[in-house]
Structures are given as C-alpha cells and as structure tokens.
Amino acid sequence: MGSSEGIFSTKAMKALICANSVSQVNWKKVVWIGLAPPKVEAFVWLILHNRAPVKVELLKRGVRSIGDDLCPLCSRSRETVDHLFFTCIVSWQIWSLVANYWGVSLVLHQDPLSFFA
C-alpha cells in the first residue's frame, strides 16, 4: 500500500501507521497472519492469552507435582508469563544478548501485549 498513486513513500507509510494506531490493533488475533511457523504462532498465542505452561498456571490447573512456583532461572519471583519472559533478570540478559547480536537497542515492556504492540 502506498500513496493514492500507488507509489511507496515514507510519508504514505507514516500516514498508514498513524491511521492504524497500536491501540486499535487486536494483537491477540494478528498472531495468525503467517509471519512465523505455526508452532511459533501457537506459542505466541499462548503467551498473549496468559496460557503458557508456566508454574503459576500449572498450579491453577491442579498440577501439584511441580513443587514451588518460583522462577527456575532466578529463584526470586513466581514463575508467571510476565516474569519469565519480561521481568526476570536472567531473561533480560538473554534478551540483551539477542539484541546485541542483531545490533539493536532494546526496551522491554512489563507484559506480553505491550511488548507485541
């Protein structure tokens, strides 16, 4: 999609992005557009819907054999989706290594929906 003449321009792209602001996008449905393999899309869907099999969720579902609900990486907080992927100090180090490899700066949000937006 470009300008009304069908030509791509930065101005046309900015107008398109501003017209479809992040707050209007349903990120829980956008997962299924085919940008990643189906397994990755399914995993992202689980994270966005807070259904990933982290310890806190497993305990809610009645799985008692896991013992405590502490994060296995840092042992400081409960293992929730938000903690495991975004606020855990060990996860942050992993995200930082990936960002450095790609040569980009990174700021992580506190929850999956904000991150994907």
pLDDT at 4 > cutoff 70: no
Predicted pLDDT of residue 101: 94
pLDDT in tens, 79-91: 999 999 888 999 9
- 69 Cβ partners below 8 Å, 6+ apart? 55, 56, 59, 78, 79
DSSP 40-72: HHHHHHHHHTT-S--HHHHHHTT--TT---B-T
Number of domains in the chain: 2
Could you tell me the pTM of the whole model? 0.66
CA distance 44 to 38: 10
Same domain, residue pair 20 and 46: no
Identify whether residues 40 and 89 lie together within a single domain. Answer: yes
Nearest residue to 78 (alpha-carbon basis) of 98, 62, 59, 105: 59
pLDDT value of residue 14: 63
Residues 21, 36: one domain? no
Predicted confidence (pLDDT) per residue in 29-78, tens digit: 777 878 789 999 899 889 888 889 999 999 988 998 888 999 999 999 99
- Give yes or no: residues 21 and 60 share one domain: no
Structural domain range at position 2? 1-25
- Residues 73, 17: one domain? no
